[in-house]
A and B are shown apart, each in its own frame.
Chain A
């Protein structure tokens, strides 16, 4: 297997007596969709927050493209190319689609201290933004305020913003949440293409999507990874079945 883009070793995090993350090791290699599944409360979101730098881990290491990033803050990790989408849609509601994505392009460029030139007259922002909007399937919706988008469109906007960071890795936290079957199907196709841009660590409850998309699956239970393998291996794993799939899927 190719060198991992993201390499997590022995990551641990406790909240008081609760071990939310218990010696988690995980790799994300180029070109793959690595799904992270587990019952509610298993610590999936806590793990994502530690990877992006929103929470500080207690022990272990997070290496990104060979570099230890455990001491960097969240904006610095984002600029290295670690793109994240949120479990609950997280966009700038008063901004239009174009403004939202332009701000993402701007974040990646690192040039926010320009005061006089109009941002939306700046081809260096607008051209990539339009490209990513089209890529995420929102063409023609550029001028619509994000607050007026449908739920599915807002998820697509998040994808466009993640794309605009020109990421080396995507961390997508339940991108299918709240989507209807048609929306899920569309998004599954988009995500399938997305792995060519950068590998995806996918936290998802929609098992149909996970089984359709994932190259590898890791199963997190009580903060601990109990199995990692291909779709077939995970389906056949007795531990996983008793811990998770048996009761949930």
Chain B
């Protein structure tokens, strides 16, 4: 465990140092890449709660990522066009305040997770994977076919949302905002895995029948974890929309669900800092190999295969030479 905490410290230091170097060297694009890593890692931290601690293999977390993104996009679009989101039953205005957008994004993602979780958690194994995928795809096709917010073309908003006291257009300032939120999610995740709730959640993953015989109902525990997980991933989605100043149905598609899952698996399922390692490696490969060949994802697939077959603890597991989950 000592070595893993060293690796974690190095990962976090790198995530801070790289954009600071980029700032000094005048490479704003690198800062944007680091911001993408922080946001994807945040989405992965969310999924890791369900997947890593709870053993809930959700192949539908794009639903929460995309919903968070659309909340940010839609609120910002209404603000920019000076049109209320709705006037019935009462008027809801758009907003470009991140502090207002984030809670709404998390609330919407959390409600969706409660609904999807309540239905999908009645199944397990392959069926759970398929039901979560099906719900995310439903939202994806809905977004495509709903013309009000751009349909297939997505929705652009030209001004990044604002944060009090910060210039969010400055890449390093926006990065700092994302980094702080990531750190907050990591801290929450760290507390949860040591808490009573975490004990019950991890226990239910290892041996649900035994947990039942101890007087604990796994369903409520898992549903709560799924909702928290969806909310964190939803927050990441809102940040991602702000990074690109654009949302599209792509954020809701199964590719996105797969990518979030890849961040977690590459880094190490159930490892606290796994999503940072995974998202970092993913962006690094995309950036380095993407320039060489547009088929870079074939190489990513190969890497994933190697990790799944030979290094179950993911990148962090390999580096810390400790194969045990959790």
Binding site for B on A (CB under 8 A): 52, 54, 73-76, 78-79, 83-84, 86, 90-95, 99, 102-104, 106-108, 110-122, 125, 145, 161, 165
Contacts and interface: CB of A to CB of B under 8 A. Distances in A.
B313 to A, nearest CB: 13
B212 A112 contact: no
B191 A108 contact: no
Contact of B217 (A75, A86, A103): A75
B198 to A, nearest CB: 7
Contacts of A78: 212-215
Interface in B200-256: 200, 202-203, 206-207, 209-217, 221, 224
Contacts of A118: 191, 194-195
A108 B214 contact: yes
Contacts of B213: 52, 74, 78, 83-84, 86, 90
Contact of A116 (B195, B216, B221): B195
Given A107-B214, A116-B191, A118-B191, 8 more contacts: A75-B215, A90-B210, A91-B207, A107-B200, A112-B200, A114-B196, A115-B191, A117-B196
A220 B220 CA distance: 38
Given A92-B203, A93-B206, A110 B195 contact: no
Interface residues of B, number: 27
Contacts of B80: none
Contacts of B216: 75, 103, 106-107, 112
11 contacts: A84-B213, A92-B206, A93-B206, A95-B206, A107-B216, A111-B196, A112-B199, A115-B198, A119-B194, A119-B195, A120-B194
A107 B215 contact: yes
Given A75-B215, A75-B217, A79-B215, A106 B199 contact: yes
B184 interface: no
Contacts of B206: 92-95
B215 A110 contact: yes
B252 to A, nearest CB: 29
Interface in B91-147: none
B22 interface: no
A73 B215 CA distance: 10
B27 interface: no
A32 to B, nearest CB: 22
Contact of A113 (B194, B210, B224): B224
Nearest to A105: B214
B192 interface: yes
A77 B218 CA distance: 15
A161 B196 contact: no
B197 interface: yes
Contacts of B203: 92, 95, 103
Nearest to B326: A94
B237 to A, nearest CB: 23
Contact of B211 (A52, A103, A111, A125): A103
B148 to A, nearest CB: 38
B207 A112 contact: no
